[in-house]
Amino acid sequence: MLTPEYYFYCSDEAVELYSKLDETITRDIVRRIMMNEGKITETAKWQIESELQAGMLYDDVVSRVAESSGTSKRVVKKAFRKAGIKSVDFDNKIYRAAGKTPRELSMSPAAMSVLNAGIAKTNGSLHNLTMTTALGAQRTFIDACALAELQITSGAMDPNTAINEAIKSVAETGSYVEYPSGKRDKIEVAVRRAVMTGISQTTGEISLANAREMETDLMEISAHAGARPSHAEWQGQIVSISGDNTKYLSLSDIGYGDPGGFKGINCRHDWYPFIEGISTRAYTDKYLEELNNRTVTYDGEEIPQYEAEQRQRAMERQMRDERRKLAAYDEALKCTEDQKQKVDFETSFNDSSQKLKKYERIYDDFSKQTSLPTLKERLKTQEYDNNISKKVADVDKKAQEFNSLLGAKTSTGVIVNEVGIHIRSRAIARGESASDILNALTNPLKSDKIRIDDSQQFIGEKSTVVINVKTGKLVTTWSTSSSKAEKLKKKKGVS
């Protein structure tokens, strides 16, 4: 038997592997959009080049998926074997206590056959699903190119802005898989479902094969907090494999073999042998009631454990999304020499950097308070792009310096109450420091009249800053040109 917690985390390594593939595919799409940029104002050339690049992108993604396939197969095989050994070891202790002589996993031809079939099936499913990402990447690229062309030819945006928006769109979309039904899923969602469900079903079949070999008819089902209502009806109960023992549930009662039943899609329940006269039920009705009401505490709030696990998983998805965006903007920066574009892409990179660090801090605090293991603890190690990690840390350090502006009073008496993520990002991208902005606010060369939208502009020697005088929120900032600064200094009589 494997615990519900084990099933919840057993696919982590595979998910991280495909998360890296997602980042790589995103980089490929961004690079090809940037390669096309020079032809965007020439509609015919743009369309021809887009179609050519879309075909090449498809081939490249197919190759990348194939490259990842070898590593994926090893990861899946390791996960299945580890789960199989752990499950069999647990069951065998029960059989030995009953005076039976069970075989180890590797010594049982029937169990090994089930294990290898499960590995092959899951690897096949992953291959088939992830190959659809090539078509998805092609669609994402074509859609981004078509949107950029429309925005430019309609006059809605200039080429630079349209390209920036196309890159943002790609960064947001990421890679997805498509099922035969037409349904789409983010690649990490599909991988998690395939691996977790595959391991669950395979270990369940191994337990069933061993039970038949040990001439054991009864199995006890595990239980966990926050089970689906349909699963809560039978979790912690005894089931008769043959269905002959009418005191207990049958396989049909628990929906064994059905997608929504026991061992169905994303089911985290397991079973293990129950020997009448020897075994004692692990789950009393009172315990099951307590289990369904089990909670953890976060910021003084009692929340169901299952909900806490789901929240943690959602936070991990948030962090993966930001890492994919960082990869996209990093690639865009490598592909442009245009200074305006560089500032725009650096601003977007800085935005995502601050969001990622914010999410990481919240995630670490949440995991600590709820006593849930973090992804790093579960995987033992995480290998991210060191270059990007250093950039993110540098941006975060610079962004924190802007906290010194909070509470500052402008020369006109307005208190600074808010310095948002975007204004920090833009200032860092333009090379402005917190001290430059503070100097502009407290000792400006010029301060304009309050505008109808409650904004007021302060022109400093190095920075020009706009603040909302009613809310105290910094609206925007940009570098003051040296010529303008000199002109105002002369007018003010400052050397």
Asked whether residue 40 carries a pLDDT value surpassing 60, the answer given is no
**Is 473 in a helix, a strand, or coil?**
strand
Please identify, in words, the CATH class of the domain defined by 405-492: alpha beta
Query: Positive or negative CA dihedral for 214, 119, 374, 378?
Result: positive
Instruction: Report the pLDDT value the prediction gives residue 309, as an integer from 0 to 100.
Output: 86
42 band by pLDDT with thresholds 50, 70 and 90 = low
> Roughly what angle, to the nearest 10 degrees, separates helices 339-370 and 305-334?
160
CA distance 425 to 353: 9
For 198-251, how does the pLDDT look when each residue is reduced to its tens digit (9 = 90+)?
999 999 999 999 999 999 999 999 998 878 878 988 999 999 999 999 999 999
CA distance 83 to 270: 12
Please identify, in words, the CATH class of the domain defined by 4-215: mainly alpha
CA distance 233 to 285: 11
For 66-125, how does the pLDDT look when each residue is reduced to its tens digit (9 = 90+)?
778 888 889 999 999 999 999 999 999 999 999 999 889 888 888 899 999 999 999 888
Instruction: Report the pLDDT value the prediction gives residue 44, as an integer from 0 to 100.
Output: 52
CA distance 399 to 474: 14
CA distance 277 to 265: 34
**Is 173 in a helix, a strand, or coil?**
helix
Region 273-288: mean pLDDT is 87
CA distance 307 to 296: 9
Neighbouring residues of 486: CB distance < 8 A, sequence distance ≥ 6: none
Q: Which of 478, 378, 460 is nearest to 422 (CA)?
A: 478
Instruction: Report the pLDDT value the prediction gives residue 397, as an integer from 0 to 100.
Output: 94
CB 203 within 8 A of CB 258: no
Asked whether residue 56 carries a pLDDT value surpassing 80, the answer given is no
37 band by pLDDT with thresholds 50, 70 and 90 = low
The phi-psi region of residue 75 (left if phi > 0; otherwise alpha if psi is between -120 and 50; otherwise beta) is alpha
CA distances 297 to 368, 375, 378, 386, Å, are 10, 20, 21, 35
CA distance 97 to 92: 8
Neighbouring residues of 7: CB distance < 8 A, sequence distance ≥ 6: 196, 199, 200, 268, 270
Mean residue pLDDT of the chain comes to 87
DSSP E strand stretches across 365-490 = 446-447, 455-459, 463-468, 474-479
CA distance 242 to 251: 8
314 band by pLDDT with thresholds 50, 70 and 90 = very high
Q: Supply 343's token pair.
A: 């500032």
176 band by pLDDT with thresholds 50, 70 and 90 = confident
**Any alpha helices (H) in 154-247, and if so which ranges?**
159-173, 187-213, 229-232
For 320-373, how does the pLDDT look when each residue is reduced to its tens digit (9 = 90+)?
999 999 999 999 999 888 888 899 999 999 999 999 999 999 999 999 999 988
Instruction: Report the pLDDT value the prediction gives residue 495, as an integer from 0 to 100.
Output: 60
Region 172-191: mean pLDDT is 85
Cα-Cα-Cα-Cα dihedral of 371, 374, 380, 382, to 10°? Answer: -170
160 DSSP 8-state letter: H
Query: Positive or negative CA dihedral for 180, 183, 185, 190?
Result: negative
**Is 294 in a helix, a strand, or coil?**
coil
For 386-396, how does the pLDDT look when each residue is reduced to its tens digit (9 = 90+)?
788 899 999 99
Residue ranges covered by each domain of the chain: 4-215, 405-492
Q: Supply 309's token pair.
A: 């696990």
Instruction: Report the pLDDT value the prediction gives residue 107, as an integer from 0 to 100.
Output: 84
Q: Which is it for strands 249-250 and 238-240: parallel, antiparallel or unpaired?
A: parallel
Give 377 or 128, the one with higher predicted confidence. Answer: 128
